[in-house]
């Protein structure tokens, strides 16, 4: 999920301008666009039945479209939270958007009233045309989404997630070896870990190198899809009437079809490989196998089943890789946290083996580090917008049906009342005086990095396990330190503020020193890699 998706989802790109280039077509069609635009812009919206939450004033017709920055809108939303309160309204052309800047309204609405707060904003290009309504992340709240979520619920429950721990142990052992062998390429290793892990869980396939086609082809498809979500790129998202233009006159529809066909063909080939393996008696413990087994009882068409299995890659690989990269930056910039976590690892695990999932209950400080990473630089800073399916009232404000409701993860996680001294990186905030892991009054996990309500990330138990095993194994084996300035020899820590612009974001490229913590490391890691590969040989059938 690496895109500027939320802005596209919430800010219909009227500011793109009604130019020929924006539509990319003939003068006749352009005229039709102008007429459609005029009808669209000047049609009267329904009067509200009550007061909306306050918000910045905005312009006639355009509303706040020009006020919302394309770059890191969540930072401006945090400022507006301070100014207008825990929920504020933005008018995005004809669309109403309510931003929830604190956990309380997000819990009250998205969690407690999830029966009417669980749809998505309409994304014509990315969801309806490029994905033909088959990508769960963008699906409106309806029958297909419900059936798919019910099935995913079984595949990603804590017990099911635990059944994939062997994969995460194997891939994390290789990750540590790769980091020590080629430390400069650490970002590629994070991406390989995340991609290969999700390919094994999804299709019982793996990627031993970052260049392996098993992940590069999935990544390319994902990038093609996410580029279509860039705000302002497709006029049809601002002027839905354009969706009625016949394909022959609409280049965007032909482009969407090409992406859809390529995506479907790739997802289908992965699922059919699993089907063939199973038919030939090779057992494969992976999502695709269980989706095929359940296809009839959940009334999924073939294409729905292929997309359900395939689209998990897009949702789960960049997010996980971004979380690991953020962890490396955080450790490089917080040596005192690193030292404390390593002391805990030395005392609980010792030096004769890598940490394992069985150590989790005893690694309290390391557990707190995982939580603090997900809070301090939460992976999806801007959240993923929900939409309402009924009119509603909350604290005296009216929230009309069809409102886009965005929980701003950035400001929720930097709320000084919930997290004193919120900008500091302090894992201790999640440890009670008795030495136990604690959350907040709103969340046992202590954060909301996986979202809210019925749309909460279904992969969260898998993701949490990945972050725990990767963080503890990297800390156990490596010392993560700032790069040295070649001229002065002084340490040059990376910026803690320089993050990618995407939807799921990671630190901008930085240098650091990744070195083994001692002589004991190499042999232990080599043995874990060997055991992992033996396990894979047995699993792949």
Q: Which of 195, 355, 382, 459 binds ligand HEM (CB under 6 A)?
A: 459
The nearest distance, CB 202 to ligand HEM, in angstroms, is 8
CB 256 within 8 Å of CB 125: yes
Query: Would you say 323 or 355 has its CB closer to ligand HEM?
Result: 323
| Interacting residues with ligand HEM between 364 and 403 (CB under 6 A) | 379-380, 384, 386
CB 430 within 8 Å of CB 376: no
Q: Which of 221, 218, 475, 504 has the alpha carbon at shortest distance from 359?
A: 475
Residue located via tokens 């990671």: 506
Grouping H, G, I as helix, E, B as strand and the rest as coil, residue 378 is: coil
When asked if residue 457 is in the footprint of ligand HEM (CB under 6 A), the reply is yes
- Biggest CA–CA distance in the chain, Å, is 74
Query: Would you say 457 or 478 has its CB closer to ligand HEM?
Result: 457
The nearest distance, CB 152 to ligand HEM, in angstroms, is 7
- 519, two tokens: 């002589």
Query: Would you say 180 or 324 has its CB closer to ligand HEM?
Result: 324
- 59, two tokens: 């312009």
Pairing of strands 95-100, 512-516: unpaired
Q: Which of 107, 77, 82 has the alpha carbon at shortest distance from 381?
A: 77
Kindly write out the interface string for residues 413-452 of this chain, putting x where it contacts ligand HEM by CB under 6 A and - elsewhere: ------------------------------------xxxx
The nearest distance, CB 110 to ligand HEM, in angstroms, is 7
Residues in contact with ligand HEM, counted by CB under 6 A, come to a total of: 24
When asked if residue 462 is in the footprint of ligand HEM (CB under 6 A), the reply is yes
Label residue 497 exposed, middle or buried (CB < 10 Å: 0-12, 13-18, 19+): exposed
Query: Would you say 65 or 373 has its CB closer to ligand HEM?
Result: 373
The nearest distance, CB 78 to ligand HEM, in angstroms, is 17
Q: Which of 334, 325, 346 has the alpha carbon at shortest distance from 466?
A: 325
366 marked as binding residue: no
Query: Would you say 22 or 456 has its CB closer to ligand HEM?
Result: 456
Q: Which residues contact 273 (CB under 8 A, 6 or more apart)?
A: 203, 205
Query: Would you say 316 or 446 has its CB closer to ligand HEM?
Result: 316
| Interacting residues with ligand HEM between 138 and 157 (CB under 6 A) | 149
The nearest distance, CB 284 to ligand HEM, in angstroms, is 16
The nearest distance, CB 191 to ligand HEM, in angstroms, is 13
Grouping H, G, I as helix, E, B as strand and the rest as coil, residue 383 is: coil
When asked if residue 195 is in the footprint of ligand HEM (CB under 6 A), the reply is no
Q: Which residues contact 398 (CB under 8 A, 6 or more apart)?
A: 48, 49, 50, 51, 52, 391, 392
When asked if residue 455 is in the footprint of ligand HEM (CB under 6 A), the reply is yes
| Interacting residues with ligand HEM between 303 and 362 (CB under 6 A) | 312, 315-316, 319-320, 323
Phi first, then psi, for residue 479 (nearest 5°) are -105, 130
CB 206 within 8 Å of CB 214: yes
CA distances from 154 to 1, 140, 256, 464 (A): 22, 21, 32, 17
When asked if residue 92 is in the footprint of ligand HEM (CB under 6 A), the reply is no
Q: Which of 48, 456, 483, 524 binds ligand HEM (CB under 6 A)?
A: 456
Binding-site positions for heme read 457
Binding-site positions read 457
- Binding residues vs ligand HEM (CB under 6 A): 136-137, 149, 312, 315-316, 319-320, 323, 379-380, 384, 386, 449-452, 455-459, 462-463
């Amino acid at each position: 999920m690496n895109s500027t998706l939320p802005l596209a989802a919430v800010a219909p790109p009227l500011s793109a301008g009604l130019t020929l280039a924006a539509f990319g077509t003939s003068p006749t069609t352009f005229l039709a666009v102008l007429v459609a635009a005029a009808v669209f812009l000047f049609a009267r919206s329904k009067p509200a039945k009550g007061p909306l939450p306050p918000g910045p004033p905005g312009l006639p017709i355009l509303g706040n479209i020009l006020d919302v920055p394309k770059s890191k809108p969540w930072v401006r939303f945090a400022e507006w939270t301070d100014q207008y309160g825990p929920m504020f309204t933005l008018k995005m052309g004809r669309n109403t958007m309510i931003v929830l800047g604190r956990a309380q309204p997000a819990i009250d609405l998205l969690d407690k009233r999830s029966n009417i707060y669980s749809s998505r904003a309409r994304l014509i290009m990315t969801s309806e045309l490029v994905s033909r309504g088959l990508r769960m992340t963008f699906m409106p709240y309806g029958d297909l989404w419900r059936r798919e979520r019910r099935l995913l619920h079984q595949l990603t429950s804590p017990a099911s997630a635990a059944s994939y721990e062997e994969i995460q142990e194997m891939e994390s052992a290789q990750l540590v070896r790769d980091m020590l062998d080629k430390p400069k390429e650490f970002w590629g290793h994070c991406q390989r870990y995340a991609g290969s892990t999700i390919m094994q869980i999804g299709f019982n396939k793996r990627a031993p190198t970052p260049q392996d086609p098993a992940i590069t082809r999935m990544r390319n498809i994902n990038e093609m899809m996410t580029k279509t979500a860039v705000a302002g790129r497709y006029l049809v998202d601002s002027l839905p009437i354009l969706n009625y233009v016949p394909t022959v006159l609409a280049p965007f529809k032909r482009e969407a079809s090409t992406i859809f066909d390529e995506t479907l063909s790739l997802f289908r080939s992965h699922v059919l490989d699993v089907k063939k393996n199973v038919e030939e008696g090779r057992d494969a413990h992976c999502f695709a196998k269980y989706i095929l087994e359940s296809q009839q009882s959940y009334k999924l068409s073939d294409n729905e089943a292929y997309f359900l299995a395939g689209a998990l890659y897009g949702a789960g690989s960049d997010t996980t890789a971004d979380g690991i990269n953020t962890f490396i930056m955080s450790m490089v910039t917080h040596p005192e946290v690193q030292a404390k976590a390593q002391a805990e690892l030395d005392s609980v695990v010792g030096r004769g083996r890598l940490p394992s999932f069985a150590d989790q209950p005893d690694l309290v400080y390391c557990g707190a580090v995982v939580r603090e990473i997900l809070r301090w630089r939460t992976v999806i800073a801007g959240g993923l917008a929900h939409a309402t399916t009924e009119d509603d009232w909350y604290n005296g404000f009216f929230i009309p049906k069809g409102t886009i409701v965005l929980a701003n993860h950035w400001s929720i996680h930097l709320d000084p009342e919930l997290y004193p001294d919120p900008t500091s990186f302090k894992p201790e905030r999640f440890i009670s005086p008795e030495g136990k892991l604690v959350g907040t009054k709103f969340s046992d996990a202590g954060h909301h990095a996986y979202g809210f309500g019925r749309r909460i990330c279904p992969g969260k138990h898998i993701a949490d396990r990945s972050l725990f095993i990767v963080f503890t194994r990297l800390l156990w084996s490596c010392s993560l330190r700032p790069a040295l300035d070649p001229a002065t020899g002084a340490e040059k820590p990376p910026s803690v503020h320089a993050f990618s612009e995407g939807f799921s974001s990671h630190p901008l490229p930085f240098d650091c020193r990744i070195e083994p913590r001692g002589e004991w490391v190499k042999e232990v890691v080599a043995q874990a890699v060997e055991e992992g590969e033996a396990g894979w040989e047995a699993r792949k059938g």
